[in-house]
Structure 1
Amino acid sequence: MKNYILLILFFLPVLAFSQINLKVLDEDGKSVSEARVTYNGKTYQTDKNGFIRVPIADSEQELKVEKENFKGFSKIIKTTPRSQAVNVLFLPATRDTEIQEVVFQKKATYKTNDLTSVELSVKEAREVVSLGGGVEGLLKSLPSVNSNSELSSQIMVRGGNYDENLIYINDVELYRPFLIRNSLQEGMSIINPDMVGMINFSAGGFEPRYGDKMSSALNIYYRQPEKFELSGEASLIGGRLTTGFASKDKKFTGLLSGRYRNTNLVLNTLNEDTDFNPRYFDLQSYLNYQFNDKWSLSFLGYFAKNDYQMVPKQKEVDFGSVLQPLKLTVFYNGQEDDQYKNMMGTVSVNFKPSKKWHFTMDNFAYQNREREYYSLASGYILEAFDEEGNPVAGYDAGGQIDHARNDLLVRVYGSQFRTRFSPDVNTDFEVGVKFERESIKDFTNEWQFVDSIGYSNPRDFVLPGQLDASGLNLMYHIAGQNNINVNRISAYTQFSKKFYWGTNKIFVNGGARVQNWSFNKETLFSPRVQFAIKPNWDMDMLFRVSGGVYYQAPFYKEIKDLTGAFNPDIKAQKSYQIIVANDYEFKIGGSERKPFKLTTEAYYKKMENLIPYYLDNVRVRYSGKNNAEGYAYGLDTRLFGQFVPGVDSWVSASYARVYENIDGMGYIPRPTDQRFKFSMFYQDYMPKFPSMRVNLTLTYASGLPSGTPVLFDSAGLPDYLAAYRYQRTLPAYKRVDIGLTKVFIDQKDNKATGDFWRNFKELTLGVQIFNAFNINNTIANQWISDVNSSPQAYYPVPVRLTGRFFNVTLNFKL
């Protein structure tokens, strides 16, 4: 009986205090203050943010909202044991249109109708402890997103690979580097957290205005400052400096930012004797000029230069099992020198002749110049030990030479025109057309020579220049020279509508997009639809269904086959997708606590015309043929809320499977088949000392089946069918990153005093603990072959990721 009484007392505050959360906006999306609210015989006024909380009456009552020069609004409010959100859009009194409630509240600055998108906090993206990038680091904590390397900003979403994700900044599509094969080479993400104003991410089933890829869409909007600002960060691995400004009349605004990073100290946590010199640098600018109420012009510029130099000397790796412990010792001679230069510029013209029409013209240009050069000679010794750890007499020895001279130049430039017509606040028609000119110049020369007992016999001494190399057997050799200039044209149209069906709120978004690429002369047609219903229940729930036909339009990596040549007969990969989802909001604790939100999504994908590939570290190598089919399914869940009052946290879990059938040989797991993942992003502070804060990111993900050895056929080409003969799953990925912060100055409880310190709006000192438990995660296997064994034996030598590292950061904002 006592337990029942405690349960009633626990939920009593929620049941006893239900309220109306009223928000009033004008047609420009600005808050309407001092609006008169009449309800249950009492009168209230909205605050400066256009917001007011009103207790719900014991009986059904009429709610009225009024203000001079605006048309009035009224609605019957039913008595429920839960709080209700009412969003009102005020129209001028001279307008004949009847005022209506906003079914789903819109944002004033950035607008999206995509029901599959989740909006992420910009503040948390800046504070998350991540080596791979602030925004991407936050994405990795979502249930549908996987990444088995903390050094990489690339992600895998719902069984897709790294190349199947769309990235936009201000609605303009971006490209990532193409030749990256090792997460150590990857520099900073193009997304600068200091410049971000809004983050929208969809894990699938997105609307037609997003392009032709099969997995996800990330849309970033950069912000416009309202006055002068200066912020920066300094740490042991780099720093950044960002400044913003606005003219007195607010017509001209701008953001300028520069970043530098050197991860040498982090890479030194690897268990090897190597001289690393990774240097990453970028500059970004975002300028806006508002000519008048109708015309505006903006410019987004980006330049990045990433250099990666590595001189390996020696590496020792202990692996094997308890019954058969092994040790590999490798001695190196040579070096690797890679360079990546990216440039991008976008000029956008916006024309808004009325409240209903909005036209945008984006003109963009992108250039990516990449160079991957390495010549590494290595000699290795493989030793075995008995159960007591004593070396067994005899050992295997061998050597190999890895050589590459790979150059790539990609240029993409074009224009896109978009228009939106909104006859009322709950209806949108959108149309867009895009033209791209793509130029790709590719030179590949990559080979590997392996020398071990019984494989490549030693040669007698010959004079220089007289060596007959006809009998020299290379493990593999990929050589190709390609140069293409092609056009890509795409267009989309979509319709969005929000309305009431009885007392239930309904959202519908439907449309289609088409694309034609002159390289393979293929035309794609992609219909997509989204539907949501929010029943008028006591339980706050939203049900969503989305799906359609989604293509993976081929580009540089997909059209390049294993010989290094471009295949003009390649076709787009195709998938049929359906996603069923539910959002459930509920409260735990007092009425002032922010509601918790439990999101559950189930999905299924049927895939055709797949191009088989294998994963080598973070590099995706395609076969260059559409000779596979597949399917994927899974379940994602995420609990979001304030476990600690005032700060957001969440817990995510997912179960997923993805299979492929190559040449009718049967279904096997794809290289991205990561079955289970659990992650958590948690924030806390000390109640007595709220300036002491902590955030924690935890990830557990089951291993990928990409531990399969990369074998080569008789022609010296990688054999992507090797997975049918043997598959090996990598160990699970386990990692905890912790950030500890001391806030000296902020705009809340720690305001500065003194003439000098009053110039600071924020000043914090932090300690970041990467890989807090020093777990040796494995990203791939390096396979050592024993040619003397029968059948030939292969030993999987794990390629480890970084260990524990302490970083110190100092952040400020003026």
Structure 2
Amino acid sequence: MKNFSYLPLLFLLFSLTGFAQEATLEGIILDEYDVPVPGANLGYRGGGTQTNENGYYSIQIPANKEIQLEITYVGFKRIRVSIPELEAGTKKEFNFVLKTGVEQIGTVVITGNRNSRVEGVTTISPETVRKIPGANAGVENLLKTLPGVTSNNELSTQYAVRGGNYDENLVYVNDIQVYRPFLIRSGQQEGLSFVNTDMVRNVEFSAGGFQAKYGDKLSSVLDITYRRPVDFGASLNLSLLGGSVSVEDMSENGKLSGILGIRYRDNSLFVNAKETETNFRPRFADAQTYLTYQFNNKFELSFLGNVAINKYDYEPITRQTNFGTITDPKALLIYYEGQEKDQYETYFGALKATYKVSENYSAKFIASTYNTQEQEHFDILAQYRLGDVNTDIGGENLGEVEFSEGIGSQLTHARNDLDALIINLQHLGTLKKDDHQIDYGVKYTHEDIRDRVREYEIIDSAGFSIRPPLDGFQNNQPYEAYDAPIAPFNNIRAINKTQVNRFQAFAQWSYKTLIGDAEAWLNAGIRTQAWEVSGENIERKTHQVWSPRGQFAIKPDWDTDMIFRISGGWYHQPPFYRALRDSTGTVRPEVEAQQSIHVVLGNDYSFKLGGRPFKLVSEAYYKNLTNVNPYTLENVRIRYRARNNAVAYAYGLDLRLNGEFVPGTESWVSFGYLKTEENINDRGYISRPTDQRLKFAVLFQDYVPAIPDIKFYLNMVYNTGLPGGSPSYADPYEYQTRLRDYRRADAGFSYVLVDKNKEHPKGHWLHRFKELSIGFEIFNLFDNQNSITNTFVRDVYTKSLYAVPNYLSPRVFNVKLGMRF
């Protein structure tokens, strides 16, 4: 197969780095009688200014860095405040009152971007992302505690939003779209998320009704911003699951800056705790960098690069799964031979040029390339016994299968290889005039996929080979001998060389105004995409879609701080390669874009309780989906039918209450209700694979009052069960059983030795640390047995199938060490 790896490596040759960015503070200084104070001094280490004759000031401060601001004037007590990190280019208004009697010392608290409230975007603190425990800690771990976001697999970073699947979510890092590997089947193979939490500056998430400036997906947008360093810093995190290190710095002339992160992940702690005894050798590692360089005050160039090499070697030995009831216990006992060797190598590089033409207009130019080289090779023979379990307490054979109801074997083979190259060229522009803002963009994408699928499955039951259930086949044995060649139960062989060219464009308008005494915000936009599918032995097909979208928010002039929102539009999801390939491995270029008319009604209510800030966000939504491409879901593997032969709907209600349940910490409680069904070929509505009806989640932070350096974190999720899937070739209308409810709690404890509130004098061995903590984590605190899929086993005597659950990880303990210099 053609190897494209040299192309993204060209991007890694760029050694461009960045510059010191600034943010702006402005406001008015008043005295105790609300009279402006002219000539008041404002200063911080590195800069300062004075108020004018009207008491107004405007001061530039370093972005992405906490500063100490001091305000003084003769005859008044000074003010000392800590200004938290502000993003580059942002402008914040702070008004201060000088007093004659009391010196004022404190911290300015920024609760979030106002635009996020009116746009219905959830903003998550990067500090919270780094602290909250989880089997796969990071941004996605926190997303799973939000209403409307579901996942029943703690080893996976993938998530479903409001009835969609894992392919329906957009992810951006600094305006650049990022991608995932194609061939991964299970969460334990995934390794690392693209997003490196050590580098994150800001996290924003929209679960639906998002603007036209975002791409063509049906469910959600995750928008990540990476930090731009302003001085030297380094961090190191170690645990039994792996480790990460990051280094950041800025040049002396203030024009160059960069951050580099390296991570390593080892899932054997979880796999070795599961019921399958294995020889398991995972090696998941990546290196990621974000660099910037500013040529002048108007032009800057940045580079985002990532190299990830994930190797997954798996050699199962034995497995025993107990299921059934107390009165009728069953067990599945399997002995394995063979192994699996998977490898995923991804290379990603992106250049972004930003040119500030004027105060009102800025333009961005982005070029990116993504290359993934994947192999999935395995030969595994599984010989099983299914039967009744010995329940004689005290007996030497307690728990063993003593009467076999099913005996058989299964041989699975795969030699799947994929090499994909994706190239993007994009231009974005923003024009501001008074209270109006116009955003537009154009984008070209070229996708070149070389894919070879060689996969088969042979099933034997009690010495008889199970043939595939072909249409029209009748089994008349033993009265009529079957003399045809024995066929595998499942056999896929295909070689595809596919190219897709996409052209995208959007334009949107935003406007802030007053309706009476109420503040209002409007957004309207439209985007379009045209794409062409071609390749060897593929008939060339061209498609085009248009997607109008809009948002409206209003804040009444009430004493109560409340915002009402309505948003939605006609969303489309043109098929990516995986959605073009059907279950036989054939690429079907005629597959059209899935469509969704999406409406979201939202309310944002901010209030104080016990003198502490809280916010309740409520959203009700409805989706009407057409041209639906049905799929099956097994662990994290999605297999499409590659036909637009279904319609579907989804509706629900999401509630989230967050605030300072404990003073000085942020916690939240989430509730979600969802119902989503599909109708395939007019046969009637059945549950979609992501039909997760109820969700409760709690994220809680606390500390010991007598010893505040001891912190406690709790991440708790309850989801009702998903549909359990169906055997190969089976009709999904006949398999509508559900998995058991998903219940999981992860707890973390840490002791803070050093932070910004607990510094040590020079000469002390802890003085060199900016932050230092040690921690202990308990994953699956209550040791719940959660299942992700079913294994269907045939009973040779009753001719029936048993759905044997595949359990996820049990209770696991972890220790970690975190430090920052």
- TM-score, length-scaled by structure 2: 0.84
Conserved? CA contact 1:453–1:788, under 8 Å: no
| Of 624, 628, 632, the match for 1:610 | 628
Deviation for aligned residue 1:380: 0.5
1:240 aligns with 2:233: no
Give 1:445-484 correspondences, 5 Å limit.
445-453=454-462, 455-456=464-465, 471-484=485-498
CA shift in 2, pair 1:567/1:755, >3 Å: same
Aligned equivalents of 1:753, 1:29: Cα separation in 2: 32
- Other-structure match for 2:233: 229
Do 2:510 and 2:521's aligned partners in 1 also have CA atoms closer than 8 Å?
yes
- The answer for the alignment partner of 1:30 in structure 2 is 24
Q: Distance in 1 between matches of 2:527 and 2:145?
A: 31
Residue 757 (str. 1) matches residue 766 (str. 2): yes
Tell me which residue corresponds to 1:66: 55
The CA deviation at 1:304 is 0.1
Equivalent AA in structure 2 for residue 509 of structure 1: N
Which residue pairs with 2:578 in the alignment? Answer: 557
Residue pairs, 1:711-790, within 5 angstroms: 711-712=728-729, 719=730, 722-751=731-760, 753-789=762-798
Q: Which amino acid aligns with 1:609?
A: N
Q: Which residue identity lines up with residue 56 of structure 2 in the other structure?
A: K
What displacement does 1:552 show? 1.4
How much does 1:158 deviate?
0.3
Residues 234/457 of structure 1: CA separation in 2 closer, same or farther (3 Å cut): closer
> Is 1:364 matched up with 2:368?
yes
Asked whether the equivalents of residues 407 and 796 of structure 2 are also in contact (C-alpha less than 8 Å), the reply is no
Structure 1 235/469 Cα, relative in aligned 2: closer, same or farther at 3 Å? farther
Q: CA deviation at 1:434?
A: 0.3
CA distance in 2, matches of 1:133, 1:265: 14
Instruction: Assess if the C-alpha contact under 8 Å between 1:745 and 1:752 holds in 2.
Output: no
What corresponds to 1:6 in structure 2?
Answer: none
Q: Distance in 2 between matches of 1:311 and 1:196?
A: 36
Please name the residue that 2:557 is paired with. Answer: 536
Which residue number in structure 1 is paired with residue 421 of structure 2?
A: 411
Q: Deviations over 1:191-233 (max 9, x none)?
A: 0001011111000000001111100000101110000111111
Residues 171, 701 of structure 1: CA spacing in aligned structure 2 closer, same or farther, 3 A cutoff? same
Distance in 2 between the 1:734 and 1:112 partners?
Answer: 31
Does structure 1 residue 597 correspond to structure 2 residue 607? no
The alpha-carbon deviation at position 386 of structure 1 amounts to: 7.5
Is the CA contact 2:438–2:510 (under 8 Å) kept in the aligned structure 1? yes
How far apart, in 1, do the equivalents of 2:116 and 2:429 lie? 14
Distance 1:243 1:114, change over 3 A: farther
- 1:444 paired with 2:453, answer yes
Offset at residue 112 of structure 1 (A): 7.0
2:76 corresponding residue in structure 1: none
Instruction: Tell me the distance in 2 between the aligned counterparts of 1:153 and 1:199.
Output: 16
Unpaired runs of at least 5, structure 1: 1-26, 50-63, 71-85, 91-104, 459-467, 713-718
- 1:370 counterpart SS class: strand
2:505 is the alignment partner of 1:491: yes
Matched to 1:733, the amino acid is Y
Q: Which moved more, 1:628-637 or 1:395-404?
A: 395-404
Query: Any conservation in 2 of the 1:31–1:48 contact (CA below 8 Å)?
Result: no
Output the amino acid matched with 1:475.
F
Give, as a single letter, the amino acid of the residue that structure 2 aligns with 1:66. Answer: G
Task: Tell me if the contact between 2:760 and 2:766 (Cα under 8 Å) persists in the aligned partners.
Answer: no
Root mean square deviation of aligned Cα:
2.5
Stretch deviating more after TM superposition (268-277 or 391-400): 391-400
Task: Report the CA distance between 1:41 and its aligned residue.
Answer: 4.9
| TM-aligned CA distance change 1:133 to 1:267, over 3 Å | same
Deviation at 1:609, TM superposition (A): 0.3
**Aligned letter for 2:684?**
G
Deviation of 1:69 (Å): 8.5
Give the Cα–Cα distance (whole angstroms) in 1 for the partners of residues 23 and 115 of structure 2. 11
Q: Could you tell me whether the CA contact under 8 Å between 1:235 and 1:808 is conserved in 2?
A: yes
Offset, 1:625: 0.5
User: How many angstroms does 1:388 deviate by?
Assistant: 6.2
Query: Partners in 1 of 2:671 and 2:442 — Cα distance?
Result: 38
One-letter amino acid matched to 2:488: L
- Distance (whole Å) between structure 2 residues aligned to residue 393 and residue 345 of structure 1: 58
Distance 1:589 1:361, change over 3 A: same
Distance change >3 Å, CA 362–CA 341, structure 1 → 2 = same
Which of 665, 683, 690 is equivalent to 2:701?
683
Name the amino acid aligned to 2:735. Y
1:225-304 residue pairs with structure 2 within 5 A? Answer: 225-304=229-308
Q: Which residue of 1 aligns with 2:670?
A: 652
Which piece of structure 1 moves more, 380-389 or 144-153? 380-389
- Could you state the TM-score of these two structures normalised by the residue count of structure 1? 0.85
How far is the alpha carbon of 1:679 from its aligned partner?
0.3
Q: 1:277 to 1:353 in 2, by over 3 A?
A: same
Question: 1:469–1:518: structure 2 CA closer, same or farther, 3 Å change rule?
Answer: farther
Q: Which one-letter code corresponds to 2:812 in the other structure?
A: F
Which residue in 2 is equivalent to 1:716?
none
**1:427 Cα deviation from its structure 2 partner:** 2.3
Shift of 1:473: 2.7
Give the 3 Å change call, closer, same or farther, for CA 164–41 of structure 1 in structure 2.
closer
Alignment pair present for 1:810 and 2:804: no
Task: Report the Cα distance in structure 2 between the residues aligned to 1:264 and 1:549, rounded to whole angstroms.
Answer: 44
Is 2:367–2:425's contact at 8 Å kept on the other side of the alignment?
A: yes
Q: CA deviation at 1:558?
A: 0.5
2:187 counterpart of 1:187 = no
Distance 1:579 1:152 in 2: 28
Q: What is the percentage of aligned positions where both structures have the same residue?
A: 40
Q: What's the CA shift for 1:485?
A: 2.0
Task: Kindly indicate whether the alpha-carbon contact (under 8 Å) linking 2:386 and 2:404 is maintained by their aligned counterparts in 1.
Answer: no
1:99-248 alignment, distance < 5 Å: 115-248=119-252
Q: CA deviation at 1:503?
A: 1.6
| Cα gap change, 1:106 to 1:121, in 2 (>3 Å) | closer
In 2, the alpha carbon distance for the partners of 1:744 and 1:726 equals 54
For the residues of structure 2 that align with 1:730 and 1:235, how far apart are their CA atoms?
32
- Alignment counterpart, residue 718 of structure 2, candidates 679, 700, 720: 700
Contact 1:632 1:658 in 2 (8 A): yes
Number of the residue aligned with 2:64: none
Alpha-carbon spacing, 1:394–1:631, altered in 2? closer, same or farther (3 Å): closer
Equivalent pair of 1:38/1:65 in contact (CA under 8 Å): no
Q: Quick one: distance in 2 between partners of 1:68 and 1:757?
A: 39
Distance 1:48 1:613, change over 3 A: farther
Structure 2 portions without partners, runs of 5+:
1-20, 45-52, 60-90, 96-109, 468-481, 534-540
Query: 1:343–1:87: structure 2 CA closer, same or farther, 3 Å change rule?
Result: closer
| Secondary structure of 1:757 counterpart | coil
Q: Secondary structure at the match of 1:538?
A: coil
Is this contact kept in 1: 2:323–2:804, CA < 8 A?
yes
Matched, 1:638 2:656: yes
Question: Deviation per CA, 1:586-644, whole angstroms, max 9, x where unpaired?
Answer: 11113xx2x10000000000000001111111111111110000100000000000000
Distance 1:552 1:213, change over 3 A: same
Q: Give, in angstroms, the shift of residue 32 of structure 1.
A: 2.9
| Corresponding residue for residue 438 of structure 2 | 429
1:710 aligns with: 727
Task: Identify the range of structure 1 (487-496 vs 747-756) with the bigger mean alpha-carbon deviation.
Answer: 747-756
Give the whole-Å Cα distance in 2 for the aligned partners of 1:217 and 1:187: 22
Q: What is residue 420 of structure 1 aligned with on the other side?
A: 430
Aligned equivalent of 2:473:
none
Matched positions, count = 719
Q: Distance in 2 between matches of 1:308 and 1:797?
A: 25
1:43/1:688 CA distance change after superposition, 3 Å: farther
Q: 1:377 to 1:162 in 2, by over 3 A?
A: same
Counterparts of 1:65 and 1:559, CA distance in 2: 64
Q: Map 1:341-356; keep pairs closer than 5 Å.
A: 341-356=345-360
